Structures are given as structure tokens and as C-alpha cells.
Structure 1
Amino acid sequence: MDGTERPVQKPKNLRRRKKMYSGKKRQTTRKGLIMTDETRQIGFIPMSKNGRRHDKRLLDKVDIIRHIPPEVTIWADTGFQGIDKQHPNTQIPKKGTRKRPLSPEQKQENKIISGIRITVEHAIAGIKRLGCMTQILRN
């Protein structure tokens, strides 16, 4: 599971423009979630929302977690902190801080998680290569 952003045309209305502005991409965007399996098959793409919205908040709004069976493992990135309280079988990389850096075991675990999660990134890249999630949405 991962989120991706798609650029949109700037709205004339300033209030709407502020809601759609993504500081990460420095442009007005729409954000969408993508759920895939280990074979890069797209399982679910919900409706896109304003680019300012965080990945976890978007996931809570869609409320898809309750439909995923407990025996299915969710491999998510650090943008979905707190999802492990909603779903028992979740793998999220650990975060280190200056005061508490990651131990070598935690770094090795993060490498394993990122090795499995790369299939989601490849699926997103495939969607963007097709052009259905990269070109500016003009409706």
C-alpha cells in the first residue's frame, strides 16, 4: 500500500487552490492510494482526494482496512504510522531519531520490508508510465 500524487490544473478559486496545494510536490495535486499484491497486480485504487491530505488520513477516510482479512499482511511505508493498531498483521519500517538511532537488527528488518515493498513502487511506476496518473487532470 502506498500513496501517489497527480498534478492538476490550478483552480481559479484561491480557497480551493490552498486545499489542493501539496508542499511535497510544490504544486496543486490530487492524492490517491494504491494497493497491490506481490505480483504487481493493482488491487484497489480509491477516489483521489486533495493533495494536501496525508496518506494515513486518506486511508482512514476510505476505510478499506476493515475489509482486509487478518491473515493478509499489509506492507506499508512510514507514512502509515498507526495502521498497526487497526490491522493486526502489518509491517511498517522502524524510524530512528538522533537520540535513538536504529540498531543493526532494525536496519536489517527495514531492508527486508523495503525489499518486499518495492513491488508497490514498481506498480505505481507502471501506472505512471501508462500516463493515467501522471498527466495533468483537466476536468
Structure 2
Amino acid sequence: MFTEESLRKYPILIKVFMGLPADVFWEMIAKMEVRYPEYRRERLRKKKKERERAIGGGRKPDLSLVIRVALVLTCLRLHIPQIAVACMYQDATQSDVSRDLRRLLPLLKEVLPCPAIWEMVEEGQELTEEEVLAVEQLSDGRVLIDATEQQIYRPGKDNEERKKYFSGKKKQFTLKTQFATDGEHHIEGISVGAPGATSDIKLSDELATVGRLPDGCEAQADKGYQGLDERVSLVTVQNLETGEQEEMPRLIVKTPFKKPKGGELSEEQKACNRAISQVRVRVEHCIGWVKNWAIIATRLRCAHSIYTEVMQVVCGLVNAQTQRWQATRKAKSQATS
């Protein structure tokens, strides 16, 4: 069984069972140990109305923070029964895994470069400044949009409710998540989990995706987002050559051409589709990396109430590794130049 000492002695265990390099794990632990005392007090204050004991009372955790975090990350990476995860670590129990999966996810979000959560927007609701992506967040001025689905167990006993979650594409009950990345493999935003029967373009509308994008950026999406460009509002600008006022879209949206029924695409349209695919594949890379964590790649067994939080933490883990290898590559290129 693994202990903190064995994790320090054999760093490969961290990579194999938690899915991240050992140095990233220990940097994360150092940040969490500093933040944890205040985080625990804040969490207990929020539950004060539900508690009969004073804050600070009650049983303290038996396990060190290192092992508790390792339990959570192993559960996310392998998605095996919690009792099996507990058996991998000394003195851990299934209850420890279950409790800390909920207790430590918010703390993990604080120390990881997690993407923003895009909530559903009511009709006529105005977005706040914090809900809109800033141009500075986009390393190359692009936003790449795509959605992915994850299988879930058949929900409830109500047929009407089940229909909302049945994906015609996957032929399964699923939850759908929309991703928004830049052109450099950084996940900038994800949606809350939506019923799998929701189409990509409808989910985009419910999230007010176009409204969340900054002026002047270029958005690219697949054929499931046909018509997204029609949601872009116009802005009035002055033509520098003629001095006249002109209306133009506040951002550019590109989606591939669909082959017409009974017809063929022109060579120019095919070339345009290839150019879009060469850039848009980067959001597919990000989704693929996220699915290296089995809790996202396999049928979801945890409560739907923490699904979005789990997805956000896994995206944060992917972002942390992306930033790491990009920094390493940049340092190597500077050393050789």
C-alpha cells in the first residue's frame, strides 16, 4: 500500500495512478497546505446552520493532506470503485474517498488553472464583465468551440425526463459539455452539464456563447454549429479610407461548409473546410486529453451534482500539464537560439 514516503521515493507512482508529473503534484500540495486551514474554516462557516457543534469541533481527518489529495486524484484518473482506491493507500477507507471527493474538489479548483464555468443564460439576461472572455486570455485571438458527451446511467423512471438525456448520436443516456479553448490548447471555458439530447447549436444559444466572446476575435466550430454566425451582432465602425460609417460583425465565426443534398462541394469550399479543420483540431486534442481521466471517459458513476465540478478540476489538471510542456518547449527553443 502507498504512503507519503513511497510517493516521494517513487515519483512514477504519481504519474501512473494520478495522471500528472510528480513535480506538478508536489507544487500543488504545497499550495494546498498553505490554503487548507482557512479553506476548512470557510467551508464549516457555510455549513454552520446545519451543524450542532461549534466550528473546530468534531473528529479530525486521520489521513495527511497528501494522501487525501492522492485518493481524490486516483479516483479521478482510474474511476474504479472507491473501495479499490482506498485499498491502494495505507489506512484509507472507502468513506475517506467518498468524503474527500466532495470536500477537496473546491480546494483543487483554487490551486489549478481551471477554466471558467459557463452557466445557462435566461432570455434577456445580461452577461456580467466576468462572464465574458477577455482578449488577453486568448493567446492567438482565436476561440475554438466543440462539445463532448459522457455516458450516464438511465435517469429516473419518468419517460419524459429520460428523453431529455437520450442522445440520438450516441444512442445512450448522456451529459453534454461544451468546451471553449484558444488556439494554443488552453481550455478557457466549459459549460455546465446539459442533457444529452440538446443539440450543439441549441446548447450554444442557451449558454449565450457568442455573447461571451470578445470583440475582434475569431471563433471556429464544427458543422454542428451551423448558423452560429447569424447570432453575431453588428457594430458601426468608420472606414479609414472613405471616412464613412459601416456596419460589420463584431467578431468572425467560421464553420465548415456542408455538402448539399445530391451535390458536391467546390474545390474552394473543400480547401476552406481543410483550413478550418487544421486549426479546430486543437480543441479536439484538449477533449482527448481530458478523456485520459477515466472518470470523464467512462460511464459516470458519481452524482450529477458534482459532474461539472469534476470536469472543471480535470480540465485544470490538463491546463497545468499543457502550461508545463509549453514552458519547457519555449525554454528549449530559447536555449538553442
**TM-score, normalising length: structure 2:** 0.40
Match for 2:218 among 59, 73, 92? 73
Aligned partner letter, 2:278: G
CA distance in 2, matches of 1:23, 1:99: 24
> Aligned with 2:271: secondary structure?
helix
5 Å matches for 1:34-113? 34-87=179-232, 88=249, 89-113=252-276
Per chain length, whose mean CA-contact separation is higher, i.e. which structure has more relative contact order (CA < 8 Å, sep 6+)? 1
Q: 1:123 to 1:22 in 2, by over 3 A?
A: same
Match for 1:26 among 138, 157, 171? 171
What's the counterpart of residue 286 of structure 2?
123
Q: Deviation digits for residues 53-94 of structure 1, max 9, x if unmatched?
A: 000000110113112123110010010111101233011111
Matched, 1:5 2:168: no
Larger displacement relative to structure 2 (121-130 or 85-94) = 85-94
CA distance in 2, matches of 1:46, 1:98: 33
CA distance in 2, matches of 1:36, 1:48: 17
Question: Which has the larger share of strand?
Answer: 1
Equivalent pairs counted in the alignment come to 139
> Aligned with 1:45: secondary structure?
strand
> Aligned with 2:174: secondary structure?
strand
> Aligned with 1:35: secondary structure?
strand
Aligned partner letter, 1:42: I
> Aligned with 1:60: secondary structure?
helix
Q: Give the superposition deviation at 1:113.
A: 0.5
Identity value in percent: 35
Larger displacement relative to structure 2 (109-118 or 14-23) = 14-23
CA distance in 1, matches of 2:272, 2:263: 16
Q: Give the superposition deviation at 1:132.
A: 4.3
CA distance in 2, matches of 1:23, 1:67: 28
**TM-score, normalising length: structure 1:** 0.93
Q: CA RMSD in A?
A: 1.3
Mark the runs of 5 or more structure 2 residues left unpaired by the alignment.
Answer: 1-144, 233-248, 304-337
Runs of 4+ in 1 over 4 A off after TM superposition: none
CA distance in 2, matches of 1:18, 1:70: 37
> Aligned with 1:6: secondary structure?
strand
Larger displacement relative to structure 2 (53-62 or 99-108) = 99-108
CA distance in 2, matches of 1:39, 1:130: 21
CA distance in 2, matches of 1:131, 1:65: 31
> Higher Cα Rg: structure 1 or 2?
2
Q: 1:116 to 1:11 in 2, by over 3 A?
A: same
Q: Give the superposition deviation at 1:18.
A: 1.8
CA distance in 2, matches of 1:99, 1:10: 38
Larger displacement relative to structure 2 (3-12 or 114-123) = 3-12
Question: Which has the larger share of helix?
Answer: 2
Aligned partner letter, 1:124: I
